[in-house]
Amino acid sequence: MKKINCSLKGEDNAFNAFLRTKISELDTNKSELVGVFGKTGAGKSYLINAIIGEKNLLPSECISACTSAMIKLEANMHNLKYEAEIEFITKEEWEEELSYVLADTADEEKKDSDDYNDTVEKLSAVYGKNWGTMSLEDLMNKKHFRKIPEFLNSESKILPCKSAKELYAKLVKYTRSSTEEEEGEEEKLYWPLVKCVTIRVPSYDLQHVTLVDLPGSGDLNKSRDRMWTGARGVEKNPDKQAHHTNIKRPKCISFLTSQEVKMLYHTFFIRSGKVAEVLELFRIYDLQAKKSGRGYHKILQSVVKNNGVYKPKRGKQINLNVLLASCLTGSIDEEFRKTFPNDRKDEPFNGAISRFSLGSEELVEMYRDVELQLIFLRTEEEKLKTKLNKMVLERKKKIYSSLTETIEDNMQKCYKEAAKISGKDTLKKMRETIEKHVRESKHIMFEQAKSVMLEQLKDLMEEIMKNLTETLRQSIDVSLKTDDYAIPDVSAELEKVKSCYDQLKPRPDQEN
């Protein structure tokens, strides 16, 4: 393919440009992402070390010092060095978190809570034990980040090393919640500022697999949590469907008409008016607080501070935005699962994409003189359908999550107002602030959430139709309308490809 690509450079026309694009698409490194989940101390890092054959690369066999940032491991395809790329959170994100932290530490009632202990651990890591005497301005002073100027410049930090042991020694302060300190010294740690670490290993055999070491349940790092927070094919009457005018019109996708879209809207949201139930959601928090007013105050304080989410170290997470969105998701779940099934055996849109066909396989028997062109069209069709099904799978989560995300955006002002409340009857005033906002904005908030989701569904349908139309029309044109193009002699390369194809093609007795 590289040889053919070189022969195309002298000819500048649409056909050769198309061929160059197709050749470049062949030269891609496909990679699978494998996440390793488990509780803190379960041995995730130890397992990954064993898989990649590097005993000392990731921290393992630790009790108090555990992985605190997401770590991705992949093959180093560029050189023979061990390399780490550290991606930090933004200065603005850190400053916002510090402002909440300082407000919490001023409250004496919170000093025996898990949240406070987490705060002490994070700030002590970055600033040392004297952080409590510093103001927000002092904490954001550039002097604290002299060893990580990349954080201040919103850049990634690259650590190139000759060995896994050397990389481990450099990386430990960015990935672990504590390190071994030399006597008399206080080591600065930067894991609270890290969003993600990508480690590239030269001796890694699984070149097309990226392993992800995820912090266990209970590990700390708010910024890390955000990381894990995947028509009609052609027109009825195209101008010219190649110079063989009796080629049959392709079988088109049976997608959704405008009337069917309206029906879909109605079906999805026919029972979305249960807004009154939202105002009873606080009873859930009462149960979580285990009949303790102080515990309830802690939960509600965490909810408004963390954009509607409470994450206990143990027990189930509470997400007020999800609870609010349940008024909508409860009415669409059944229909949504039919449209976007979870079972990989079932296909989205009732298999409409897979049923689409140009009919090229049937045409091969009729038009042997363009057999290769028709085989090409069939290949392009299958590649496109695979691409579209993958796109739908990736978009599915985004579409479903849009309900909760839109509601969370709408609730931001309310959360900020509630977080500022202090003094007498704080708990009561916080509840009243949230309830008032929900009552006053419920119709706008839920209608907006529905509109955003339906717009994303519409965009997905239009993108599928556009991909089918434009991609296949271009493939038809360049494969069957080549009379005016100077095509290089690729007969030798073609024979090699045919030979490889025949060797790889399974025999009838091997197909099962």
Map 70-129 to HEC letters. Answer: EEEEEECCCCCCEEEEEEECCHHHHHHHHHHHHHHHCCHHHCCCHHHHHHHHHHHHHHCH
pLDDT score for 423: 82
Using only the alpha carbons of the chain, give its radius of gyration. 29
Cα-based distances in Å from 92 to 89, 96, 99? 8, 6, 11
Distance CA 76, CA 507 (A): 37
Distance CA 361, CA 376 (A): 10
pLDDT score for 106: 65
Tokens standing for residue 99: 């402002």
479, 377 in Cβ contact below 8 A? yes
- Within 8 A by CB and 6+ apart from 122, the residues are 101, 192, 220
Distance CA 310, CA 301 (A): 9
pLDDT score for 231: 31
Q: Which long-range contacts (CB under 8 A, 24 or more apart) does 156-159 make?
A: 156/85, 156/86, 156/87, 156/88, 157/85, 157/86, 157/88, 158/83, 158/84, 158/85, 158/86, 159/83, 159/84, 159/85, 159/86
Nearest to 464 by CA among 312, 178, 253, 321: 253
pLDDT score for 323: 86
pLDDT score for 186: 60
Q: Helices (H), strands (E): how many in the chain?
A: 18, 8
Nearest to 269 by CA among 460, 456, 453, 455: 453
* Locus of tokens 């190139």: 160
State the 10-residue block means of pLDDT for the chain, 512 residues long: 78 77 75 78 79 76 55 87 92 84 68 70 88 89 93 93 89 72 61 91 79 65 39 34 39 41 43 43 43 62 84 76 86 87 81 83 80 85 89 90 93 90 85 89 89 92 89 82 68 86 76 52
Which pTM does this prediction carry?
A: 0.57
State the greatest distance between any 2 C-alpha atoms of the chain, in Å, as a whole number. Answer: 87
- Within 8 A by CB and 6+ apart from 191, the residues are 68, 69, 125, 173, 174, 175, 176, 177, 221
pLDDT score for 426: 85
Pairing of strands 194-201, 32-36: unpaired
For the chain, the straight-line distance linking the first and the last C-alpha, in angstroms and rounded, comes to: 32
Q: Count Cα atoms within 13 angstroms, Cβ side, for 276.
A: 1
**Where are the domains positioned within the chain?**
31-225, 230-481
What residues does 200 pair with on adjacent strands?
Answer: 74, 83
* Locus of tokens 């009790």: 63
Query: Nearest 5°: phi and psi at 309?
Result: -125, 135
pLDDT score for 33: 83
